[in-house]
Structure 1
Amino acid sequence: MGQQISSDACGMERRIRTVAGSYLDLEKHVCQANEWARLCPIPKTLQLRFRILLNEDEWSQECLPFIWELHDVVKIEAKTLRRYDESTVAEPRPLSVDQFYRIYCFLSDINDCSVAATQSIIADTHEDDAECQICMDQVKQVVLPCAHSFCQSCFHTWNAQNTTCPICRRDIPCALDDEVWQLTSWDQQDHAAHVIDLVARVYEVFDTKQHR
């Protein structure tokens, strides 16, 4: 269990290093986080909002692009608002840049999950689009580089004697495992459970005291 937590923490650190950039990037990411928080489906009555706090007493605006990552130069204020009137629920919380980016990454995942759930609902209303293009019966499970997709049974039966796509006849590379994608299927309950878990992680970071 401890090893899993350590692995997750290392993965988050790597992700933050990849996402975080310049001070201008931080400004853009704060705006993006506010949009994702607004679109976040839960809690239904509350949302988070962020803004940058600057220690302007010690540093001039011109210096920020160079020293913004120094401790206590820049903080992110996070507050909880009621959605219906945008009134503040509690005292705003100051976050470190690292804490903000943890929340930013979780909000990004929540947004991706919500988009995927919406696409899944749309796909359910177009069942014909989900059917194998060979048997027209089973659900698509395999996607080729040419974007044509089939159920596993039909594809493997075809591929046993052919090296091209059944539809467009494009060659299928020998390194099949690297060129064929397996489709995964999450139902709405899976998406909802994952979003709830991610939101819990957001508020876990939100409620964590800053490291001095």
Structure 2
Amino acid sequence: MSKELLHTDSLSDVNVPEPIVPVPTSDNGDASVYRSLGWVYALEAKLAWLMRVILFVAMISLGLLMAAQVFMRYVISLPFLGMEEMAPMLAVWIYFFGMAYCSRERDHIEGGVMALLTHNRTVLLSLRLLGSIICLVALVVFLKFGYDFASFNIQVNRKSSYMRLPKYLWDFSMIFGLGLMVFYMMLQIFLEARALFTGKGGE
């Protein structure tokens, strides 16, 4: 009885119906849920390219910076403390833009417990829409706190200890990353609501 209730005989269909991804892939680009949004995705493609460039440059720079720090500290015994500031700055840009790109692909960790209990499309879409709305509210709250923190650092003209870099270089990563996550979450909510109310999409 419990085996039938939980569908534990096979977990291959645990995500049926499939969660709706904010940005269509080559496999589902012609799905009805994405119709009439071509202009949005044309702009979004440029945004995604910019995020990939920023992530690539930041990751390569962080790797080179760490290699240089190891060389200077342990080979020539001339450590440069400014690198201790640059590394976290690059890391937070990677972290927040990585979060945004993960939201774009809907690759973040997501529980699928309800899909074990029911395959009812309306129930699953409603719960996923509710979860997306809750996530959006949380993101907006975090974005507000991030904006307030960045504004404070700009007002007091806070700078780093060694290289005297303005602290907003760290803070802007949080604002841009969370802002992009809000954008993708709003897009996801729109698509989930469209699929729920039109009865098309999310199969």
Same fold (TM > 0.5)? no
TM-score (norm 1): 0.31
The structure carrying a bigger helix percent of its residues is 2
TM-score by length of 2: 0.32
Whose strand proportion is higher, 1 or 2?
Answer: 1
